[in-house]
Amino acid sequence: MCFLDADDLYVENKLEKQIDYFINNNVDFLGTHALNRNLGSNNFFDSCFGINQYIEHDEIKFDIYNKNVLTHGSMMIKKQALDQLNGYNNIKGLEDWDLWQRAINNGFKFKQLPERLYIYTLNTSIDR
């Protein structure tokens, strides 16, 4: 399963690279790093995490309880894993971070590709 917010973008070949990695490796959650942009702009800049940060499972696991080190829209998740975790909990603004923590607690394996394959548009969330 993959997700794409209406105001965000995938970099070309994102899905192909993730699918190839999934086929050839034992992983349940696979993310990528992100580029950021301001709404209405096509000027991209790196997210706050370095390209070689939070790549391996153990590094993600170490920090996931203190900060959300993953970009939700970049994630590819095995449907079986999402089903076993009963999907997302309704925790406004923290649904993804809660899912990552529950997945780690239940032994699911994480990995991030060391590439910026997701474009996140800043300042578009609306408080409801």
The architecture of the domain spanning 9-122 is Alpha-Beta Complex (3.90)
Cβ atoms 77, 96 nearer than 8 A: no
- Interstrand relation of 29-38 and 110-122 (parallel, antiparallel or unpaired): parallel
Cβ burial of 91 (10 Å; 0-12, 13-18, 19+) is exposed
The tokens describing 13, both together, are: 């070949």
DSSP state of 53: S
113, β-bridge pairs: 32
Quick one: pLDDT at residue 39? 86
The pLDDT value recorded for residue 79 is 96
pLDDT, tens digit (0-9, with 9 covering 90-100), for 3-34:
898 889 999 999 999 999 999 999 999 999 99
Spatial separation of the C-alpha atoms in residues 98 and 27, rounded to whole Å: 19
Q: Which residue spans within 8-128 are E strands per DSSP?
A: 9-10, 29-38, 45-46, 76-77, 110-122
Question: Is the CB of residue 37 less than 8 Å from the CB of residue 122?
Answer: yes
pLDDT at residue 42, as a whole number:
85
Q: What is the pLDDT of residue 93?
A: 75
The predicted model scores a pTM of: 0.91
CB 34 within 8 A of CB 47: yes
Weakly modelled stretches of the chain, pLDDT under 50: 127-128
pLDDT for residue 116 = 96
